[in-house]
Structure 1
Amino acid sequence: MLIYLWAEDENHLIGANGTLPWHLPADMHHFKTLTTGQTVLMGRKTWDSLPHGALKDRTNLVVTRQDNFSAPDALVLSGRVAIMNYDWYHVDENIYVIGGSQIFELLKDQVDQLEVTRIGASFDGDVYMPDLDWTAFKRIKQNAHPAAGKNAYPYTFETYTRVAEK
């Protein structure tokens, strides 16, 4: 199953200069809980933004247009053709697509499930979540949290599943 996993602010912002524009420990814990032991798929810019390289205890897949790109402790898919021709429909495991916006745009017609953290605040940044066809999905879970402790912003974890044919 192909699953998008991202956090966004009130304006659908997902990044700022190669980093997250917010610090929200609960979201990082949620991310780790969902992805540990799973496969994560990301674009090269997202890979470059990881402060410690490959995400521990996960299979890391990196998509890039660059020939001969090397990503230590990760598998590299080179080129748009490689990712578009991959047989996502017959994958027996969960693959979490974790960014960036170009990868989200590229696979939006193939995604099965959405895991989004909506942050109740606005930030400055330069990368936004692409528009999705929300009519193709049904929300199956919603868990809202107020700002508290180290989590300075209110946030909501939401899960959507595809209801329309791909």
Structure 2
Amino acid sequence: MTKIKMVWAEDKQHAIGKNGDLPWHLPDDLKLFKQETMGTLMIMGRTTWDSIGRPLPNRTTLVLTHQTDWQPGYDDVLVAHSMSEVLAKIAAEDRDVTIAGGATMYQAFMPYATDLIITKVAGDVAGDTFAPTVDLSQFELIASQPHPKDERHDYAFVVERYQRKN
């Protein structure tokens, strides 16, 4: 069965972004993002694509946008214009899927998510983009890994891994 993982980092107020970017510098969390998305079909909204600006190595990127004339500028980036189109592409793929943002994408894919990887950042960044509301009664916490604030990381954080209950 294809796994559909959702990966995001949020602060104490559930902010995931500020001014179109990540509002913190957490190298080990970026390393985790790379590990979790490597080799997967990575799905994101156009605004998230715009903030990254290029395809990431060893991942197939699919951008969902309602702008029918939008082009990513890269031949190897897939584009879809509806949820049904994205779901058809997922069904055609024989690999795991990672939802990589933004907020609208997380909300839209929550009913399909098999796994959540949420980095809880010990800070308040006054963000302008927020994580979806998660009904954690539908998921089981399977791992929790704390990380201290240090010279490389702006904030302490905890990575929580959840798996959907059957």
| Length-normalised TM-score, structure 2 | 0.91
Structure 2 residue 117 is matched with structure 1 residue 115:
yes
Structure 2 residue 52 is matched with structure 1 residue 62:
no
Structure 2 residue 86 is matched with structure 1 residue 105:
no
* Pairwise CA RMSD: 1.7
Q: Which amino acid aligns with 2:22?
A: L
Q: Which moved more, 1:87-96 or 1:61-70?
A: 87-96
Tell me how far 1:82 sits from its aligned partner. 2.1
Alignment CA distance shift 1:37-1:88 (3 Å): closer
Aligned to 1:78: 81
Note the 1:12-161 alignment, pairs <5 A: 12-51=14-53, 53-71=54-72, 72=74, 73-83=76-86, 85-86=87-88, 88=90, 92-161=94-163
Alignment CA distance shift 1:77-1:115 (3 Å): same
Unaligned runs of 5+ in 1: none
Q: Residue 158 of structure 1 aligns to a residue in which SS?
A: strand
Distance 2:134 2:90 in 1: 18
Tell me how far 1:36 sits from its aligned partner. 1.7
Q: Is the 8 A contact 2:24 2:154 kept in 1?
A: no
| Length-normalised TM-score, structure 1 | 0.91
Q: Is the 8 A contact 1:4 1:113 kept in 2?
A: yes
Unaligned runs of 5+ in 2: none
Deviations 1:136-163 (A, max 9, x none): 0000011101111211211111110000
Number of residue equivalences: 162
Deviations 1:16-68 (A, max 9, x none): 111011111111111112212222110011001104x1112211010010113
